[in-house]
């Protein structure tokens, strides 16, 4: 156990945190929903990810977290680039297609090549196209930091969100 500050309060060993309890508590944090695409438009590789955030404005950096066992990770590494496609409120079905290990390899989506050649979802709410800047090992995931090389808002609807294990649709900002 480790002591925090000078309060004398002992903190529990982080290894003792139950993974299901962690998942349950984190479900109380509302997130947006993205599909990370890589590969080529001839063979789009993608997976649904909600662990995405902006890291830096200058230089323009974002991060995504991908499970170490993900079959899409080697494609992303081989390509050296990826697109973060932010999903619109009406794209729950697309999200589910790329979320399932059983369907994401055959998920059909309208794409176009980005400036790096990776597929960008043509109908996503917005996208950020990135080159891999670095990776950081983090437990059972890898944090992929991407340098943003292109980005755009493609639609004006609200985003698809995920809260307490349920999808929600936010309205577009007025």
- pLDDT tens, position by position, 68-93: 998 899 999 999 999 999 999 999 99
Q: Flag whether 9 is in a domain.
A: no
Q: Which residue has the higher pLDDT, 162 or 166?
A: 162
What mean pLDDT, rounded, does the chain reach?
Answer: 87
**Residue span of the structural domain in which 136 resides:** 33-163
What is the number of domains present in the chain?
1
Instruction: List the Cα angle 41/129/146 in 5-degree steps.
Output: 125
Q: Which two tokens stand for residue 139?
A: 């437990």
Q: Is the pLDDT of residue 27 over 80?
A: no
Q: Flag whether 149 is in a domain.
A: yes
Q: Flag whether 75 is in a domain.
A: yes
pTM: 0.85
What region, left, alpha or beta, does residue 115 occupy, with left being phi > 0 and alpha being psi -120 to 50 degrees?
alpha
Q: Flag whether 95 is in a domain.
A: yes
What confidence score (pLDDT) does residue 102 get?
Answer: 63
Task: Tell me what the mean pLDDT of segment 125-131 comes to.
Answer: 98
Q: Flag whether 1 is in a domain.
A: no
The answer to whether the CB of 66 falls within 8 A of the CB of 75 is no
The CATH number of residue 113's host domain is 2.30.110.10
What confidence score (pLDDT) does residue 107 get?
Answer: 66
Q: Flag whether 5 is in a domain.
A: no
Q: How many Cβ atoms are within 10 Å of 58's Cβ, its own excluded?
A: 5
């Amino acid at each position: 156990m480790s002591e925090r500050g000078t309060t004398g309060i002992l903190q529990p060993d982080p290894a003792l945190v139950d993974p299901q309890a962690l998942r349950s508590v984190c479900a109380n944090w509302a997130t947006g929903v993205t599909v990370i695409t890589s590969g080529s438009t001839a063979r789009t590789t993608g997976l649904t990810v909600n662990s995405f955030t902006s890291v830096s404005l200058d230089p323009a950096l974002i991060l995504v977290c991908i499970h170490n066992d993900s079959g899409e990770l080697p494609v992303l590494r081989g390509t050296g680039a990826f697109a973060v496609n932010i999903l619109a409120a009406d794209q729950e079905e697309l999200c589910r297609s790329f979320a399932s290990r059983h369907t994401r390899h055959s998920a059909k989506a309208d794409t176009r090549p980005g400036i790096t050649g990776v597929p960008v979802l043509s109908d996503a709410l917005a996208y950020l196209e990135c080159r891999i800047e670095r990776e950081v090992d983090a437990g059972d995931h890898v944090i992929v930091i991407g340098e943003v090389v292109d980005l755009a808002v493609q639609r004006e609807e609200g985003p698809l969100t995920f809260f307490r294990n349920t999808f929600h649709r936010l309205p577009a900002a007025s």
